[in-house]
Amino acid sequence: MKVPTLVMAGGKGSRMGLATEKPMLLFLDNPLIEWVINAILESNEVSEFYVVTSPNTPQTEEYCRSRGWKVLRTEAKGYHNDVKQAVSQLNWMGPVLTIPADVPAITGKVLDKVIKKFEKCGKDFFAVFVPIEARKKMGLSVSSVDEYKGIWYAVSGVNIINGKKTLSEGKVETDAIVSEDIEVILNVNTVKDLEVAQKIVKKS
């Protein structure tokens, strides 16, 4: 199953408190977004990808274009609205993998695993959640959370959505996996997250 992918790179990154756009922050000598794109290029199940930027991330957009990556600029009206705008403009009405530009430990192998699990689940939406305690034990922040089967989890940002259902207002069927894999736990939201993640990846 081949799935197109949106790399979400249009947020302000205000929690970082830095002048540099978050996707362009150096992580072990390469921008955060470079690590994510490398994982996508390693994947056997990703058909194509676009980097979704916004007026918040002009440097990121310029960098991506210089690398020959396809870019789509949205209006920066929030993460979910930016996803909807990108899906609508591209007319991607089937399954779409969405991934943030700040998960530097992600790999093509993990992305393939997520896509294959989605294919078997039979639902319209599929999420990858992380135990909140797993992030806290590593000294990582917990910023975005969601409830699944009565338990609250940290959001990894790696999801598969049904493009057509995303644009509609109706209820959607959701499935998920809960993972403590380092590849999805290391979501960088703060300067401390960046420092902790770099130390962990160096050791691995």
Q: Token pair for residue 88?
A: 């609508």
Average pLDDT over residues 178-187: 95
At residue 94, the pLDDT reads 96
| CA-derived radius of gyration, the chain | 16
| Average pLDDT over the chain, rounded to an integer | 94
The CATH architecture that domain 3-129+157-180 belongs to is Alpha-Beta Complex (3.90)
Please say whether the beta carbons of 33 and 64 come within 8 A. Answer: yes
**Through-space distance between the first and last CA atoms of the chain, rounded to whole angstroms:** 30
Judged against a pLDDT cut of 70, whether residue 15 lies above it is answered with no
Is the pTM higher than 0.85? yes
Residue 197's identity, in one-letter code, is A
Judged against a pLDDT cut of 70, whether residue 188 lies above it is answered with yes
Q: Write the secondary structure of the chain as one string of H (helix), E (strand) and C (coil).
A: CCEEEEEECCCCCHHHCCCCCHHHCEECCEEHHHHHHHHHHHCCCEEEEEEEECCCCHHHHHHHHHCCCCEEECCCCCHHHHHHHHHHHHCCCCEEEEEECCCCCCCHHHHHHHHHHHHHHCCCEEEEEECHHHHHHCCCCCCCEEEECCEEEEEEEEEEEEHHHHHCCCCCCEEEEECCCHHHHCCCCCHHHHHHHHHHHHHC
Q: Token pair for residue 92?
A: 């991607």
Please enumerate in sequence order all residues whose Cβ is within 8 A of that of 26, keeping only pairs 6 or more positions apart, or say none: 32
Residue 119's identity, in one-letter code, is E
Residue spans of the domains in the chain: they are 3-129+157-180
Judged against a pLDDT cut of 90, whether residue 13 lies above it is answered with no
At residue 91, the pLDDT reads 97
Q: Token pair for residue 95?
A: 């399954």
Confidence bin at 203 (pLDDT 50/70/90): confident
Judged against a pLDDT cut of 80, whether residue 14 lies above it is answered with no
* Beta bridge partners of residue 155, listed in sequence order: 129
Judged against a pLDDT cut of 80, whether residue 47 lies above it is answered with yes
